[in-house]
Amino acid sequence: MSVTRAPAVAGLFYPVDSQQLAHNVRQLLAAATPQNLSPKALIVPHAGYIYSGAIAASAYATLKSCAQQIHRVVLLGPTHRVAVRGLALPGVDTFDSPLGQIKLDRQAELSISHLPQVTISSEAHALEHSLEVQLPFLQSVLPDFTLVPLAVGMATAEEVHEVLEILWGGEETLIVISSDLSHFLPYADAQRRDNDTVDSILKMRQPIHHEQACGGTPINGLLLAARQHQLTPQLLDLRNSGDTAGSRDRVVGYASFAFTEKT
């Protein structure tokens, strides 16, 4: 019997109606500045679409030229509600979204299941938004793919790197790291901190601390892998909620990056 992880934040972070959702995502992607890239990895934000959807779209729009080649997405995001040790798989067969179901890559999951830092926690995934909000974008840009969703809790950069190395694959595999930047600072303070964080990511300098990015742990793991594989990072968009849909008194920072392989 197939087990499905149901959407938890449909109607909150993005529209629950499938037609409205598809329309909104298409609009966000169409408004993104065209980039002639074929990324191996992306860093994208995970707030409600009204806040960070345009910034996320700038990353997903870069997949246009390579979408036909991508058949597996390794998606890592931080846990916000349930504390876990290591990286947690959900223990289900499919993820559901208003745009349809996505099959999980059972073979890929088995390939990392022997690692001590890899666990199974349906609780960590049940209400987690950092992974869920990426699904409609992925479903809108990729015609056919399976998913390896990992909720990242208390782990080291090296533990994340070890998982990524096993799952790295070739052009058929895309790595997506879900992370916002600074949280609840005044607008000018957030800009300064986020600019420093962006500079560190572009220079692949570690560590990225959690006050800089809630997904600092998976970002740090990606930076280790990116350095090893000689990827080149590129900033696609940098804004905060004061720029998009909120007050400037206390803002949340958002950035998107693409990491490309040397040609």
Burial track 250-261 (b if 16+ CB lie within 10 A, e otherwise): ebbbbbbbbbbe
31 to 28, 34, 45, 195: CA distances (angstroms): 5, 9, 17, 24
Q: Phi and psi of 67, rounded to 5°?
A: -60, -35
Q: Averaged over 55-68, what is the pLDDT?
A: 97
Q: Is the pLDDT of residue 263 over 90?
A: no
Q: What is the pLDDT of residues 234-258, one digit of tens each?
A: 999 999 999 999 899 999 999 999 9
Any idea where the domains of the chain sit in the sequence?
14-260
Q: What is the pLDDT of residues 196-225, one digit of tens each?
A: 999 999 999 999 999 999 999 999 999 999
pLDDT at 209: 98
| Residue type for position 76 | L
How many residues comprise the chain?
263
Tell how strand 100-103 and strand 118-120 pair up.
unpaired
pLDDT at 34: 85
Q: Is the pLDDT of residue 7 over 90?
A: yes
Q: Averaged over 88-114, what is the pLDDT?
A: 98
pLDDT at 246: 86
Calculate the average pLDDT of the chain: 97
pLDDT at 144: 96
CATH code matching the domain that covers 14-260, chosen among 3.40.830.10, 3.30.70.20, 3.40.470.10, 3.40.50.2300? 3.40.830.10
Q: Averaged over 16-27, what is the pLDDT?
A: 98
pLDDT at 236: 98
Q: Is the pLDDT of residue 5 over 90?
A: yes
- In whole angstroms, give the CA distance from residue 28 to residue 135: 14
Instruction: Give one DSSP letter per residue of 35-55, joined into a string.
Output: -----SEEEE--S-HHHHHHH
pLDDT at 262: 84
The band of 1, judged by pLDDT with boundaries at 50, 70 and 90, is: confident
Residue whose C-alpha is closest to residue 261's, from 180, 162, 171, 137: 171
Residue whose C-alpha is closest to residue 142's, from 3, 39, 32: 39
Q: Is the pLDDT of residue 163 over 80?
A: yes
pLDDT at 253: 98
Burial track 88-113 (b if 16+ CB lie within 10 A, e otherwise): bbbbbebbbbbbeebebbeebbeebe
pLDDT at 56: 98
153 to 76, 81, 88, 140: CA distances (angstroms): 10, 10, 8, 28
Q: What is the dihedral of CA 237, 240, 242, 243, to 10 degrees?
A: 0
